[in-house]
């Protein structure tokens, strides 16, 4: 029992280290722990959501717009702009490539082009405006968005082929996701949903509309990824989180009062 518990703590530690820059100690993270991190992606999203809520509450003397940007800056620092980097690379690749080989070439390029810069500006600005609107109504919507948006990439890893060439992928030990990891991620997302409905005054209708908006956005992205690249890459997964979060916040904004 203790060995199994220790293994789960090791996986949680590996998930936090994979998705964020939050210090988790200097001990080595084994391959077996990294292989299971996808199950805890939504859990890490919940942690990030609580960090954002803490910043929002601590900056109560400021305007909603400023507080929203402070939350975003905090999350950018906490994650090292991990997902935003994927969004920028994906926008450059899908916008600037006309062949599959050129698409992968652009994805490997660390420079940000016009499409990537525009995508980042639009995504960050829209997120700030949505947070400035939603968080004064219900601060816990931030936790919902951070949690749900990190469940979608887990589904994609389980259902869609990973097409990054092996020699260039830095996540080969992470992307092989099975049913147990999907169920683990889903269980945490459902648990958070129950908590939000019971204790945070977010209704099932609000969560349902937001989840549906995210699902539609992810379906559209999946279609684009499969059509242009034949599957997903690490950058595409980051894009899925970013677009999924925006769609979730947009869905909430239509129903949250």
In a domain, 22, yes or no: no
Residue 182 pLDDT:
94
Residue 250 pLDDT:
97
Please report which helix (H) or strand (E) contains residue 133, including its range. Answer: helix 114-134
In a domain, 197, yes or no: yes
Tokens 């970013």, residue located: 242
In a domain, 16, yes or no: no
Residue 251: both structure tokens together: 């869905």
Other CB atoms within 10 Å distance of the CB of residue 94: 21
Tell me the β-bridge partners of 232.
162
| pLDDT single digits (tens) 199-228 | 988 999 999 999 999 999 999 999 999 999
Q: How far apart are the first and last CA of the chain?
A: 46
Residue 36 pLDDT:
85
Domain encompassing residue 190: 40-161+171-255
In a domain, 93, yes or no: yes
In a domain, 99, yes or no: yes
In a domain, 135, yes or no: yes
In a domain, 236, yes or no: yes
Indicate the number of domains in the chain: 1
In a domain, 118, yes or no: yes
Contacts of 238 (CB under 8 A, 6+ apart): 82, 83, 84, 85, 86, 87, 89, 90, 153
Residue 59: both structure tokens together: 């900056």
């Amino acid at each position: 029992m203790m060995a199994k518990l220790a293994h789960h703590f090791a996986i949680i530690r590996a998930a936090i280290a994979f998705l964020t820059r939050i210090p988790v100690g200097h001990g080595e993270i084994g391959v077996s722990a990294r292989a299971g991190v996808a199950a805890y992606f939504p859990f890490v999203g919940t942690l990030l959501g609580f960090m954002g809520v803490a910043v929002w509450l601590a900056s109560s003397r400021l305007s909603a717009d400023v507080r929203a940007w402070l939350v975003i800056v905090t999350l950018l620092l906490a994650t090292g702009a991990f997902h935003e980097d994927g969004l920028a690379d994906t926008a450059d690749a899908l916008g600037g490539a006309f062949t599959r080989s050129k698409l992968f070439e652009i994805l490997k390029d660390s420079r940000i082009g016009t499409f990537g810069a525009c995508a980042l500006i639009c995504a960050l600005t829209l997120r700030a405006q949505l947070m400035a609107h939603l968080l004064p109504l219900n601060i816990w919507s931030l936790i919902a968005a951070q949690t749900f948006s990190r469940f979608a990439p887990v589904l994609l890893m389980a259902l869609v082929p990973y097409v990054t060439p092996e020699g260039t992928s830095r996540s080969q030990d992470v992307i092989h996701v099975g049913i147990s990891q999907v169920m683990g991620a889903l269980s945490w997302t459902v648990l958070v949903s129950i908590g939000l409905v019971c204790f945070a005054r977010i209704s099932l209708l609000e969560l349902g509309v937001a989840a549906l908006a995210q699902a539609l956005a992810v379906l559209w992205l999946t279609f684009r990824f499969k059509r242009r690249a034949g599957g997903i890459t690490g950058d595409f997964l980051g894009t899925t989180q970013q677009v999924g979060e925006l769609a979730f916040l947009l869905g909430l904004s239509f129903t949250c009062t």
